[in-house]
Amino acid sequence: MREAVERLATDQVPDHAQGFALISEAVWLITLVDATLVRYHRQAYKSAMKSQASARREAIDGTFAGLRFVRNQMGYHLDPADFLQPEEGHPGPGQDDVTSWRWRSLPEPDLESLPHRGRAWEMTRYRAYQARLAGHTIGETFGQAAAFLNLASADSAAA
């Protein structure tokens, strides 16, 4: 996860396709680490969450819910380009910094194929995506998520 987030900040991608792949990988790894900490290191995760101010806890929860929506939709129902707005106006190939790309606002997804409970679950994540990711930069989103996961994993190692 750390390496994937660092690559977002340091790799200059020669084209949008490679930027989409880099971000998709980071989404997958961040949500995987989050799920692993929640499942196997629940007390450390809860402790790290409780150490945050109330507004910050809400932001963290919303960010991870939004990233779960991306993970569930990207590549299956939506193309990565549907989620991401590369920054315009870079001087040329090889100069694209994906941390400045932004999450696009999305229309409500068609969830009719899901059972009722699944639709409610996915709509909660969609709303979190719209509230916490849409319009924000990739760097901001992954920076916040990685900072919290680093804190939670440090608490886990200490425990």
Long-range contacts of 23-28 (CB under 8 A, 24+ apart): 23/80, 23/84, 23/98, 23/101, 23/138, 24/74, 24/75, 24/80, 26/1, 26/142, 27/67, 27/70, 27/71, 27/74, 28/71
Quote the pLDDT of residue 84. Answer: 95
The percent of residues above 70 in pLDDT, for the chain, comes to 93
pLDDT at 146 over 90: yes
pLDDT by residue (tens digit) across 101-124?
Answer: 999 999 999 889 989 999 999 999
pLDDT digits (tens, 9 = 90+) for 20-66: 999 999 999 999 999 999 999 999 999 999 999 999 999 999 999 99
Which stretch of 10-19, 35-44, 69-78, 131-140 has the lowest confidence by average pLDDT?
Answer: 10-19
109: Cα within 13 Å, side-chain hemisphere: 27
Please indicate whether residue 6 or residue 125 has the higher confidence score (pLDDT): 125
d(CA 118, CA 143): 29
Q: Is the pTM of this model over 0.85?
A: yes
Beta bridge partners of 96: 13
pLDDT at 91: 41
pLDDT in tens, 85-96: 998 755 444 456
What amino acid occupies position 43?
Q
CA distance from start to end of the chain: 21
